[in-house]
Amino acid sequence: MKNFIPPFFFRGLFVLLMLCISYTGHAHQMSTSYLSMTINAEGQIDGSWQVRLFDVNQKLAIDLNQDGQLTWSELQANQLAIVDFLRASLSISGDNDCPLMFDGTQQIDNHFNEGYLVSQFSSSCQSSGPLTINYQAFFDIDSDHKAIVNIDGDQYQYSRVISYENPLLLVDLSQSQWFDTFNEYTYQGIIHIWKGTDHILFLLALLLTCALFRKNGTWFAIAKPTQIFRDTAWIVTAFTLAHTITLTATAAGLINFDSRWVELGIAISVLLAALNNVWPIVFKLGWITFAFGLLHGMGFAGVLEEVGLPASQKLLAVFAFNLGVEIGQLVILIVVLPLLFFFSQQHWYRRWGVQCASLAIGLMAIKWSLERF
Amino acid sequence: MKKAVKKLLLIWVGVCAFGLHLPSIAAPYTPADGITVVATWQVLDNKQEVINLKRVREFIEQGQYPGESDYRYGHAKTWLQSQLTQDKKVSAELLYLYARVLQHQHQFDSALKYLDEALALDPKDTNSWLLKSNIHMVQGDADLAKQACLAMLGHTNITVLTACALDVASQDGQLDDSYKQLNRLSTSQGLAKSPEQKWIVHMLADMALRNDMPVAAEKHLQSFGLETASVSILALWADTQLALLKYDQVLIRLAPIVNSYPVKDDALLLRLSMAEKESSKLPYWQNIFAQRVALRELRKDSLHAAELARYYLVVNIQPKKALYWAEVNWQVAKQHDDRNLLDQATDLWQKNQGS
């Protein structure tokens, strides 16, 4: 009987060879470290910090023979220097500084085909308020370095990314995560209304005439501040109600419109609001505000998606974001309303000030419309 | 015997696939002995070298080439920031170089701020005006971009000024005319030996590809040697080859260049993955880029949002992620290609919703 090597043997060998070749490729990655901690209610911290060995070598020259191949013995020879470096690069403080105790035992791990040093540490950190984690490792040699931080508490867990731009992390032991979420998203809401020029200009276009009334084709100043306040409150409420509805619905996935048309619609809403000041057609501003506010809410939702929603606290995050938007709006109102009341008393403002400001807003809106189309 | 060999092979294939295919899932371990190699890398610069403005200028120039970007820009930024935080007068060049680094990292508003400071010190600096124009274009502000070009009037030659203005016009709805005019400019002015030649040819190739003329783009790019080309030229060349359906060319010519560096650029990994996917080859580059994408997402690196969006559009099709990253990209970059990316991602998402 002849020796027979079955065809599948060669196929199998070929597959094996291809697999081995295909999967042995790897690429040097971005400078990243991984920091994990558990923190209990008594302030006991137990953590693990994984730093890329290439980065450690950049700081401490642990590759003693500089051959590009770091051995375990070379690493062990630099153990004390490494621990000193780690201790100097990470600090946790509460009411006082909390010294970190690094375990003498180190290990190796692998992330994305790169070798990492694993160091365990612990600390006891009593605090009446939030703990501050101050991370400074490797930023002086690579401003692109980031630390992926995972924190487990008794009642919460969350992930954060520490970067050169944001080296500090606040961890509040006394409050549950819902408060962190609420604070963070309220803050994001405030920031995003202040950064949203189109939203601000829409509001401004509506408010330019809040202290005026129209009669026989001419603007006149409203004498009673209470009436100004009531009219403004109605406009702002309508805007708030409308964008809350669509922001929540979009964030919940109930509606989903093409962001391109939403952005174009927002630009057109600003244009129409501005033009209505020059050629007034709609006098019941509350309804037009509500209608366009629905569009603006969808625009906010797009921004909210970029920030990201925590899976377990979506509703809270959306509510907090909405609240942030409201607070941001109110601040704008507090600044702008007294000025508009003052201007409304000036003849020049009623005669051509409103029109000029509206046309300027309108031109900006036309530019956006063309860009977004 | 046949069954035993078959069984052995299957087990071996399984072990290989399992053992080699899990790059990021590991548990900490203690090496058995001191000679165990725990990490390897390519030895880069001598760490003892002196960093000064001249060296940083070189870093930034070198950062445009494959495998150098992260390392070079990271070092440059650190040194430049240390100079800026010191309480002393800084030069226009230092401010310009810092703006270059910020532009590379997509921190466009900050870059513009430093450019304005640089131009306040040296209003005739052509590089600063060109960078300013470029950033305004990326932000979708053609008017300011054009103003930056015109501000160079009297400080630079007419070729540079014209090319700058045509580049802006090409992003502002006049692509075809701009391409034709720039083409005439490059052939009529005898630019063959001028320092601006490569820059203009790069621009021509980019315009040609955007104008759906990949054959013309390929012809323009023939003047560049791929082995010594920058990442942007290589990416443009790869896009041209992909448009011409020459997937194998991308793999054959680009792969060795990328493989010769330990650090592999996202833009080139993406193109290799796309070519590999289209040519139905074994997923070597796709796996490498998948790891890169996973790490970018873990780090929330929005800088590479455009690459991530294209990855999820073409290579690892996930409509929701494609749309998310396309929208993240659109927040900071509003050029023609960024709009196209957003439109494609939106279309894919809507089709996916409808199906």
Give the closest-approach CA distance of B87 to chain A in angstroms: 19
Say if residue A162 is in the same domain as residue A191.
no
- The reply to whether A61 and A99 lie within a common domain is yes
pLDDT band at A177 (very low <50, low <70, confident <90, very high): low
Q: Based on the domain organization, do A268 and A368 belong to the same domain?
A: yes
A149 and A189 fall within a common domain: no
Look up the CATH superfamily of B52-170.
Tetratricopeptide repeat domain (1.25.40.10)
| Mean pLDDT across A294-308 | 70
- Same domain membership, residue A341 and residue A298: yes
Instruction: Compute the distance between CA of residue B236 and CA of residue B218 in angstroms, rounded to an integer.
Output: 9
Look at residues A150, A175, A200 and tell me which one is the last residue of a structural domain.
Answer: A175
Beta bridge partners of B40: A69
Task: Provide the pLDDT for residue A333.
Answer: 85
Taking Cα atoms as reference points, which of B23, B19, B17, B280 lies closest to residue A12? B17
Of A128, A148, A175, at which residue does a domain stop?
Answer: A175
Are A290 and A338 within one domain? yes
Q: Do B287 and A25 touch (CB under 8 A)?
A: yes
Sign, CA torsion B319/B321/B326/B331: positive
Same domain for A260 and A132: no
Quick check: B295 and A29 CB within 8 A?
Answer: yes
Q: Which of A11-20, B72-81, B236-245 has the lowest mean pLDDT?
A: A11-20
Would you say residue A131 lies in a domain? yes
The ipTM, to two decimals, is 0.75
CB contacts < 8 Å between A and B, how many?
Answer: 187
Question: From its phi and psi, is residue B106 left (phi > 0), alpha (psi between -120 and 50) or beta?
Answer: left
Lowest mean pLDDT among A88-92, A243-247, A312-316, B17-21: B17-21
Q: Which residues of A touch B27 (CB under 8 A)?
A: 109
Note whether A205 and A351 are same-domain residues: yes
| Mean pLDDT estimate for chain A | 81
Give the whole-angstrom CA distance, residue A309 versus residue A316.
9
Residue A56 lies inside a defined structural domain of this protein: yes
B188 at A interface, C-beta within 8 A: no
Of A27, A112, A260, the CB nearest to B24: A112
Mean pLDDT over B300-304 rounds to 85
Query: Shortest Cα distance from B120 to chain A (angstroms)?
Result: 26
pLDDT tens per residue, range A11-56? 444 444 444 333 334 556 789 999 999 988 788 999 999 999 999 9
- The domain boundary, picked from A175, A200, A227, lies at A175
**Number of folded domains that form chain A:** 2
pLDDT band at A104 (very low <50, low <70, confident <90, very high): confident
This model's pTM is above 0.90 = no
Q: How high does pLDDT run on average in chain B?
A: 87
Q: Tell me if A24 and B16 make a contact (CB, 8 A cut-off).
A: no
pLDDT at A326 over 70: yes
- Say yes or no for a CB contact (<8 Å) between A142 and B78: yes
For B124, list phi and psi in degrees, rounded to 5. -95, 5
Considering the domain architecture, whether residues A344 and A323 belong to the same structural domain is answered as yes
Measured distance CA(B115)–CA(B100) in Å, rounded: 9
Distance (Å, whole) CA B30 – CA B22: 19
In this prediction, residue A4 has a pLDDT band, given cuts at 50, 70 and 90, of very low
| More confident of the two residues A284 and B143 | B143
A214 shares its domain with A324: yes
* CA trace torsion A122, A125, A130, A134 (10° rounding): -50
Residues A41 and A126 in one domain: yes
User: In chain A, whose CA is at the least distance from the CA of B302?
Assistant: A306
Asked whether residue A3 carries a pLDDT value surpassing 60, the answer given is no
Q: Is residue A130 located within the same domain as residue A239?
A: no
Residue A9 domain flag = no
Average pLDDT over residues A341-366: 89
Maximum average pLDDT range among A228-232, A329-333, B312-316: B312-316
Domain, as residue range, for A309:
180-372
pLDDT of A13 reads 42
